[in-house]
Structure 1
Amino acid sequence: MVPVPHSDPGRRVDETTASMLEALFTQSPIGLHLLDTDLRVVRINTATPGMRGVPLDDLKGRPVRDVYNLVQGVDLEALLREVLDTGVPVVQRIVRARSNGDPPPERHFEITALRLENPRRSVLGVAVTAIDVTERERARTRTEVLDAVRRHVGRTLDPVVTGAELVPTVVPAFADIAIVEVVEAVIRGDDPPQAPPPASTPLMRTAFRSTRTRPPQAHPVGDVRRLPAPTPFTQALADLSPRVVALHPTAPWLSVDPPRAEAIHSSGAHSLLVVPLALRDAALGVVSLYRTGQSPPFDEGDRDLAVELATHTALCIDNARRYTREHTVAATVQRQLLPRSPETHASLDTAYLSVTGADPGVWYDTIALSSARTALVVGKVSGHGLNAAATMGQLRTAVRSLSAFDLSPDELLARLHYTAGQLAAERARLPLGDPLRRESLTADCVYAVHDPLTGTCAMAAAGPLVPLVVCPDRTVTVPGIPAGPRLGATEGAPFATVGVEVPHGSVLVFASDPLLTSYLAESSEPLSTAPDYHDRPLQDLCDALVYARPAGLGAGDAAVIVARTRAFPPDRFAAWPLDADPASVAVARRRTRGQLAAWDVDDETAFNTQLIVSELVTNAVRYGSAPFELRLIHDRTLTCEVRDAGSAAPHLRHAGTADEGGRGLFITAQLAQAWGTRYTPPGKTIWTEQALSPGTGPAESL
């Protein structure tokens, strides 16, 4: 037999290893690089995408820094030197480099570097593998940009701010320049136009951002103008489709918009991605993204991402638009429901203030009461939008209606509390699908009555609202008013009235936000340190309150009334005690005639007043209890008051044809424009009011 020669296993292994290395260096898509201890190229795989077409002889022996056009950010040579020195490998490090091309495209490579040693542990160099992960990194970047947009865009309900929230999330992560332009009607809260929008549709530039320190802009942020046509921007708004546009200096559409063409040329932009802000076939605006310099041009993947970004932004802008419209309508309703200007009172100067004007549920009011008194009201309804404004209007109307009955503050709030409870019960009976059913109906309110004749102010509060009293010596005090239950709440302590002395020149501050009241009480500087405090216009004081309010206070929207008390003119008020004798009727009539003559009241009004006094005094002496008092007040109207200690109140009735009496109060009601009964701890007061002819009011004599 002929012996079969045995092959050398070691030789076969060397041949296989050599063949594998040769295949890796000539055919593998993975970049293989052998570097010596001076980090010069020994061998390199020219089959990788980044090295195709580059002769090996041109690379061998060259330093690694000359072979790769690295993007600033990673010092590859220092990294590899550290591997040589320490032997610690670098694994899966991402570096950016520019490949061959015009312009050279930027690529992402994942490199791993290992130190090479011979069996004697001598260092031979470094082996580097590089895998092109450009698409993976682009996908990751796109995902991060989309996540950032979803986190940061739409945090406010302001269509202008929404655009300002978008541009920082895409520059520089996705684009070098970002511009947001929104249809002006959308900014106002109106419905956006259906695509294609009219050529005259104006847009506002709401946001601009660039990677450059002083970037050129065609128009400043806030500028409103229509877009020249035809351009990629108007075309995108017309068909609501995104566009990737290569920016060539000779593009014909650039001549249509010279300012924008100049800005594009100055910025060095070479790629434009225009994406419309669209929702339900309506055009809300347009987003323009640019890439400049050596940034890669936009591709199809970038366009898909931009569509997602624009869709989210458009939804946020539309939500903000709807909120703006609802707020505009609610604010309009609120303006119609609230007094336009404070009523004029002889003994009280008042001014209204809205801290931000964004809460339609707050209200304020001043109500002229009988006997020269004035009611001051501030309140706040829970909820927001039109529902809060409507409820506010209902409660304000109820307060005005109840105030006509001369109720004490605690009794008025008790009845208002009942009214709010009825409104809450009606809301609870709404259909199950009505979202308003799930909103509770509660309100805070403070009601005060200022009496200039006694120099006091009676107050009661529903909820945590309390007023501030600034005395003439500039000391600020908070009246100790027990907090009653919130209007509409099911539980709570009874309401209580507290009387406070308010000397001439005192200032009362009523706010619908307790945080603002607490701040003003603790830091009384805007109230007590103003120069010329006694004569300072109240509107200036209101402005001082706004300027002094710290940004981090945390107080919400607030309605404020600022009122300064004035002494009632002593020559416009007269009072006389009366005896419990029918003869007091003639005495009262005589004194009334003399006082009206001194006030120069016309004859007709004087005659009617004497009849009224006769009837009121007769009823008091006949049916009331001593002591008796007659008072005349010459204010915006002529007021007659008769006081007694009895608790029984008269009521109006119509006497029969054969009756000899019973017509006194009926006659009084016919002669007076208003009359009523006011109960006080000593008893009651019957009062009437008559209109004064022009030229006899207090304003001319003050």
Structure 2
Amino acid sequence: MAHNEAISPVVEAAALEALFHQSATGLLILDADLRILRINLIRPVLHEAPPERVMGRRFTDVYDFSAPGEVEAMADGVLASGAPARGRLVGVRPKGAPGPEYLFSVSVSRLESPPGRILGVLVEMLDVTEREKVTDRLRVFGSVRRRVGQTLDVVATCQELVQAVVPDLADIAVVEVVDAVVRGEDAPLSPLGREVPLRRAAIGHSGGEEQIQAHPVGDVRALPFTTPYAQTLADLKPRLVALGPDTPWLAADPPRAEAIRASGAHSLITAPLTLRGTVLGLLSLYRTDQADVYDNGDIILALAVAAHTTLSIDNARRYTREHTIALTVQRHVLPPRPATRTTVETARLCVPSVVGGGGGYDTFALPGARTALVIGEAAGQGIHAATTLGQIRTAIHSLAALDLEPDELLARLNDTAISLVQERAALPPGGPLPLTGSCVYAVYDPLAQTCTIALAGHPPPVIAHPDGRTEIPHLPSGPPLGSAEGPPFAATTIPVADGSVLAFYTAPLLHTAPAPDTLQRVLARPDRPLQDLCDDMLYRLRTDTRQGDVILLLARTHAFPADQVATWHLDQHPKAAATARTHAQNQLAHWGVVEETACTTEMIVSELVTNAVRYGTPPLRLQLIKDCTLTCEVHDANSLAPRLRHAKTVDEGGRGLFIVAQLAQNWGVRYSLDGKTVWAEQIL
């Protein structure tokens, strides 16, 4: 047959019959009044009625459409204009019939006779119910992947989940998590024990928050055993359950049964939140809309959603565990409260970072009524930063016991940090981060009323004078701890008036303060209680603490009481020891020191002065300081260090420092530009 030869009516009739009986597309022929002349729908449920009950009736009287007015308008528009309408998505079900709604892609074309008379329309209906369900499920799962797991918080992750699945996957969604998991502990193995408590972490429903809830968010209780919830967590298999007034297992949980009946839920999917054989929690999805019924495809989607959520919850659990350990380590590293001495009042503000930083502070006593003030940061976050902070603090205390100047202490601390850096460099990949950090070490001397400060890559302190003036001294800074290159460390001695406030802080404080000079504004009235100053600074901070730990250490300085210190200049003479003992005896009696301690002190004074006379260089000076401890200091101009010896039985000397070490609580040597000071402390 030639391509331009007319098709016979017989062939046309055969083609029409084939379309109506074999085509996968549903067909309806409607007249100009939209009455059904012929019908073929592939969904049997849509044409179960006998033909005589369908033919001749308007199609909107036979079927319920999700938007009947829109469908009629579409058909009327095609009849009027002749332009076909293609691919409109319409929900359809038999008139007045309960049950699910089917989704069709509807196309309408006008039918005309050869002379051009309008005969009616041809309606093509392609069943796309399953296709659209798959599309919707992929969209829901994509939403879950985008929205769930944005935080490292277990409860927040559960809230993200219910927000992502309601109302597209469920009209009501409930997430319950094993209570130990919320605290960061290990998840229990399956099967979950009957007594293991679960915390209701999140609930969401399309009807608003006024819906009846079986248990409030935050409620902790074990699941009733004879319910699909408990069975899902026992065998880790999902369940699709029909709900009705006669459902037997509802009697095991009356509050939940009441909430289900009040909500009108008719079907339930329970999916376990499980990972590697452990149980983290349970996801429960409810449908209340009678038009939506769960099927096996929804179970597959629920399992995929649960699997993604489980990974996010486990990540949050691991973070919570590590964060808790890091904070615990940091709390044990930091002193419970700053040491308050006669000459220094201290207070602190500590706001830990939400990601777990490595900031720390310390204050401790030094010989000669001096006080060490330390604050610093370790690079990184979490437990690695906390352990690094502990290593740095231990090294500082060990070096401070040598009575080093601040710049020399930081230099030796940096050597220690470099050694630790080299050790960490040899660790396998994925180990702790390199040890780096910043530090400020200051020593306040109340006798001289000075503060000697050295910096290691750290911001300088703010000094608030008693008259309200504030300043940031220009101090040279050495390299950060752990750096092999950089300028040498330097110490600067600053005079400090009685009643001044020294403010040491970590760098994140400047990032969270509204303005760089906020701290100086707070310190403009330094006469206020130190804790009030800390609180005032806290109230001005922004809430974002992701930059690191915000730490502020305040120290108000005072001069040492003049009546609690006594100084004598001694001659370089063999009788100097006897003279020193007499001075000490009189002064200790004036202070009311008990006789036993006074006798010990006289012996210590005698040995130290004798050593200074024999091996030292004039001028000699004896000083007694009565504070929490009784300190004896002997100064001479010779910088050579004395050495503790263990004399032999036949030796006539060499036992002086050994005797001092046995009698005193602590002893040591402090060097200065004009010589050295040998000191010994006793507990009062």
Alignment TM-score > 0.5, same fold: yes
Query: Structure 1 residues 560 and 515 mapped into 2: Cα distance closer, same or farther (>3 Å)?
Result: same
Q: Give the aligned partner of residue 264 of structure 2.
A: 268
Q: Identity of paired residues, percent?
A: 50
Query: Structure 1 residues 426 and 59 mapped into 2: Cα distance closer, same or farther (>3 Å)?
Result: same
Q: Give the aligned partner of residue 390 of structure 2.
A: 393
- Conserved 8 A contact 2:63-2:95: no
2:324 paired residue among 328, 331, 335 = 328
SS of the residue 1:435 aligns to = coil
Q: Give the aligned partner of residue 366 of structure 1.
A: 363
Question: 1:204 deviation in Å?
Answer: 0.2
- Conserved 8 A contact 1:31-1:44: no
The AA in structure 2 aligned to 1:111 is V
CA distance in 2, matches of 1:649, 1:446: 28
Aligned pairs, how many?
678
Q: Give the aligned partner of residue 691 of structure 1.
A: 683
SS of the residue 1:112 aligns to = strand
CA distance in 1, matches of 2:499, 2:110: 90
Is the counterpart of residue 206 in structure 1 residue 206 in structure 2?
Answer: no
- Conserved 8 A contact 2:570-2:621: yes
Deviates more, 1:242-251 or 1:501-510: 501-510
Q: Give the aligned partner of residue 295 of structure 2.
A: 299
CA distance in 1, matches of 2:509, 2:190: 47
SS of the residue 1:391 aligns to = helix
Q: Output the aligned Cα RMSD.
A: 3.4
The AA in structure 2 aligned to 1:450 is Y
SS of the residue 1:305 aligns to = helix
Is the counterpart of residue 504 in structure 1 residue 498 in structure 2?
Answer: yes
CA distance in 2, matches of 1:150, 1:413: 49
Question: 1:247 deviation in Å?
Answer: 0.3
Q: Give the aligned partner of residue 238 of structure 2.
A: 242
Query: Structure 1 residues 603 and 261 mapped into 2: Cα distance closer, same or farther (>3 Å)?
Result: same
Deviates more, 1:61-70 or 1:132-141: 61-70
2:642 paired residue among 642, 650, 663 = 650
CA distance in 2, matches of 1:198, 1:524: 57
Is the counterpart of residue 482 in structure 1 residue 482 in structure 2?
Answer: no
- Conserved 8 A contact 1:527-1:545: no
- Conserved 8 A contact 1:382-1:442: yes
Query: Structure 1 residues 196 and 519 mapped into 2: Cα distance closer, same or farther (>3 Å)?
Result: closer
CA distance in 1, matches of 2:514, 2:326: 31
Q: Give the aligned partner of residue 412 of structure 1.
A: 409
2:509 paired residue among 495, 516, 522 = 516
The AA in structure 1 aligned to 2:313 is I
1:603 paired residue among 576, 581, 595 = 595
- Conserved 8 A contact 1:26-1:47: no
Q: Give the aligned partner of residue 699 of structure 1.
A: none
The AA in structure 1 aligned to 2:562 is P
2:129 paired residue among 119, 131, 134 = 134
The AA in structure 2 aligned to 1:274 is T
TM-score by structure 1 length? 0.87
- Conserved 8 A contact 1:334-1:389: yes
Deviates more, 1:529-538 or 1:659-668: 529-538
The within-5 A match list for 1:309-328 is 309-328=305-324
Question: 1:663 deviation in Å?
Answer: 3.7
Q: Give the aligned partner of residue 342 of structure 1.
A: 338
Kindly provide the CA deviation profile for residues 437-481 of structure 1, in whole angstroms up to 9, marking residues without a partner as x: 7x3222322222122223322222223444333333444443433
List gaps (5 residues or longer) in structure 2: none
- Conserved 8 A contact 1:28-1:47: no
The AA in structure 1 aligned to 2:422 is A
Deviates more, 1:247-256 or 1:481-490: 481-490
- Conserved 8 A contact 2:479-2:485: yes
1:196 paired residue among 186, 191, 198 = 191
- Conserved 8 A contact 2:36-2:59: no
Query: Structure 1 residues 378 and 429 mapped into 2: Cα distance closer, same or farther (>3 Å)?
Result: same
2:181 paired residue among 175, 179, 186 = 186
2:156 paired residue among 153, 157, 161 = 161
- Conserved 8 A contact 1:520-1:527: no
The AA in structure 2 aligned to 1:300 is N
SS of the residue 1:318 aligns to = helix
Q: Give the aligned partner of residue 279 of structure 2.
A: 283
Question: 1:610 deviation in Å?
Answer: 3.0
SS of the residue 1:269 aligns to = coil
The within-5 A match list for 1:420-439 is 420-430=417-427, 432=428, 435-436=430-431, 439=433
TM-score by structure 2 length? 0.89
The within-5 A match list for 1:1-150 is 13-21=8-16, 23-25=18-20, 28-33=23-28, 40-41=34-35, 43=37, 45-49=39-43, 51-54=46-49, 68-71=63-66, 75-77=70-72, 89-99=84-94, 103-114=98-109, 127-150=122-145
Query: Structure 1 residues 607 and 272 mapped into 2: Cα distance closer, same or farther (>3 Å)?
Result: same
